Amino acid sequence: MPQSTIVRLEGITKVYGMGDTTVHALAGIDLMIEQGEYCAIMGASGSGKSTMMNVIGCLDRPTDGQYYLDGQDVAQLSDRDLAHIRNQKLGFVFQQFHLLPQLSALENVMLPMVYASVPTAERKERAAEALIRVGLGQRLQNRPNQLSGGQQQRVAIARAIVNRPVLLLADEPTGALDSTTTREILAIFGELNESGMTVVMVTHESEVARCTNRVIWFKDGQVMQSYLAPEDLGTVTAA
C-alpha cells in the first residue's frame, strides 16, 4: 500500500482575542502525519495541544496557514462543509464518551451514518460490525447507563470508526478510565492502527503515549518535538 499524507499543516496559527489581549494558541505549526501512523500529542495544559486537536479535527478553523486533510484543503471551508468533512473523514473519541443516553449502543453507533444518509438497513449492519470489532457484539441493545465506562468508550470507538474515517482522533480517551480498562481501550486503538487506521491521540499520561509509535510534543503553541520516539519520553518530561 503506497504511503500517503493524511494531515499536512503548513504555518498554522490560531489567535484568540484582539488588540492587547491576543493569545497565540498556535504559533506557526508545520506538521505531517502519514497514513497508518499512531501518534500521541502531548504537552502541558495551555501548550496548544487541544487547539491543535480542534484544528486537525475540523472543529475549528486556523487563523492562518494551510491544512490539507487527505489531500484536500480544508483550512477555510464553511461550517457546513466542515461538518461534512468531520462526518466522512474523521472519527472522534472523547474523554467523556458523549453517548446519547436515550439511544441504544447500536443506535449510538448508527448516528454518524444518519448524517451521512446511509440507507437504514446498511446502517444497522455496519453499526453491528463496528460493535463486534470493539468486542461488544453482545451488547447491541443496551443503553449507555447499562454499560460500564470501558464498554461505553468501546461504543464511542465503534461510533468513530463506523463511517470508515481516514483519521481517528482521540482526546484523552482513557482519562476517565481505570488502569485495567485503559489497557483494554489502548489495545483496541493498537489493533485498529495495525489494520491500517491512522490514529492521533491527545494525552497527558506518558504510559498511554508509550503505546504509540510517535510523540508530538507541544509547548507554548509550537511543536517542540515532532518525531519523538515514545521510549525517549522521559528525556522530555525531565527537561
Partner 1 sequence: MDWVESGKMAVKTLTANKMRSSLTMLGMIIGNASVIAMVGIGQGAQRLASEQFESLGPNVLFISPGSNQARQRATNLPRTLIWDDAKAIASQVPAVQEVAAQKQGQYPIVYGGLNSSSSITGTTPSFLSVRSFDVAKGRFLTDLDLQRNQRVVVLGADLANRFFSDQDPIGKRIRIRNVSFQVIGVMRPKGSFLGSNQDDAAYIPLTTMSSTLTGRTSPYGLDVTFISVSAKNEASVPAAEFQITNLLRRRHKIVSQDDFTVQAQKDILQIVGTITGGLTAMLAAIAGVSLLVGGIGIMNIMLVSVTERTQEIGLRKAIGASGQDILVQFMIEAVLLSAAGGLIGTGVGVGGTLLVATFSPLKAAISPAAIALAVSVSGTIGLVFGVIPARQAAKLDPIVALRSA
Residue ranges in contact with partner 1 by CB under 8 A? 54, 57, 59-60, 79-80, 83-84, 86-88, 92, 94, 96, 98, 100-103, 111-112, 114-117, 159, 163
Nearer to partner 1, 36 or 175 (CB): 175
Q: Coil, helix or strand for 2?
A: coil
- CB-based contact 87:163 (threshold 8 Å): yes
Q: How far is the CB of 58 from partner 1 (least distance, A)?
A: 9
Nearer to partner 1, 84 or 210 (CB): 84
161 alpha carbon, distance to own chain's centre: 11
Q: How far is the CB of 110 from partner 1 (least distance, A)?
A: 10
Q: How far is the CB of 83 from partner 1 (least distance, A)?
A: 4
Q: Please state, in angstroms and rounded to a whole number, the distance separating the CA atoms of residues 6 and 9.
A: 10
Nearer to partner 1, 21 or 117 (CB): 117
Nearer to partner 1, 80 or 180 (CB): 80
Q: Which of 154, 170, 229 is nearest to 204 (CA)?
A: 170
Q: Please state, in angstroms and rounded to a whole number, the distance separating the CA atoms of residues 116 and 119.
A: 9
Q: Please state, in angstroms and rounded to a whole number, the distance separating the CA atoms of residues 155 and 188.
A: 12
Instruction: Return the C-alpha cell found at 62.
Output: 486556523
Q: How far is the CB of 225 from partner 1 (least distance, A)?
A: 26
Q: Which helix (H) or strand (E) holds 229?
A: none
Nearer to partner 1, 32 or 103 (CB): 103
Q: How far is the CB of 139 from partner 1 (least distance, A)?
A: 19
